Structure 1
Amino acid sequence: MKYLPTPLEGCFLLKPTIFKDERGQFSETFNKKAFEALTGLSTNFVQDNESRSTYGILRGLHFQTGSMAQSKLVRVIQGKVLDIVVDVRIGSPTFGHHFSKVLDASEGLQLFVPRGFAHGFITLSETSIFAYKCDNYYDKASEGGIIYNDATLSLDWHLPKEDIRISEKDKQLPSFEAATA
């Protein structure tokens, strides 16, 4: 596995070693000892989540607050998504900055999203299966979010506006300014 930094402190990519032969391929997607040795982080993942989406489905931007904040290790099992993270840690040198990366099942890249980051993704392929490990349990009372088309952030979701589909709940998310006030 290879560690690839991003411009946002604490947020990084992991590139697994993929073994290919005539039967197909194999890769180790998570190994706690290897993760800790490579990143210097001691993380205890307690919940795995998986979503299935079709082209244009946008999920996000979501985060949890306070003692229920979550770090996530995300990857695409099938298809291709654009993944976006936004630093919402007040006082951070990269507060309000974002990072985006296309995650494709064939490459196997994983993105580590630290606590204090909003996270969202949009399916670029016909379908996608998106999986993520969380280091804290989901807690509805601790939910936070930012509207996907916030004017301050000016995020590029890589699809025409008319192709983007979001849930009614996500359409009601506040602006970046309101979410971080």
Structure 2
Amino acid sequence: MSTPLGNQLYMTVAMSNTSLKDRINDALKTAMRSREKERVAVLRLVMAEFKRIEVDERIEVDDTRALALLDKMVKQRRDSEQQYRNAGRDELAAQEAYEITEIAVFLPAALSTEELDQIIAKAIADAGVTGARDMGKAMALIKPQVQGRADMGDVSKLLKAKLG
């Protein structure tokens, strides 16, 4: 499992102006040196996903895309964790929860409800949205601001409530 030393080293690396992909790679190297098997496995999964995207799409994964991928990985693991808990497979649910915590270290801090409300209100005003049928215009403005910092399903519900 994660050690305080590993997280402290990550935070030191995170303060520099390196890309998210590089920070994850550095954390992987640190975890390998510290012989943190579980953490190494999770970080290798993340790096493999980055590499898959780079090979399939012939692009270099930038911070925006990396955030989207990490957000997607956390969401998938939350769904899996819930399914395992419902099936009574607590050991598998615990593994998913551990992976979520390791991946979430690299995501920006979650937005507060007040911050989210402000972003949604500003997007509604900027896009000139008047009803639920124009929701896509507002979501296009909101998504880049909240990616990795809020669940898009929750954002959509809040936006729909404000418009409805």
Structure 2-normalised TM-score?
A: 0.29
Higher strand content, 1 or 2 = 1
Structure 1-normalised TM-score?
A: 0.27
Higher helix content, 1 or 2 = 2
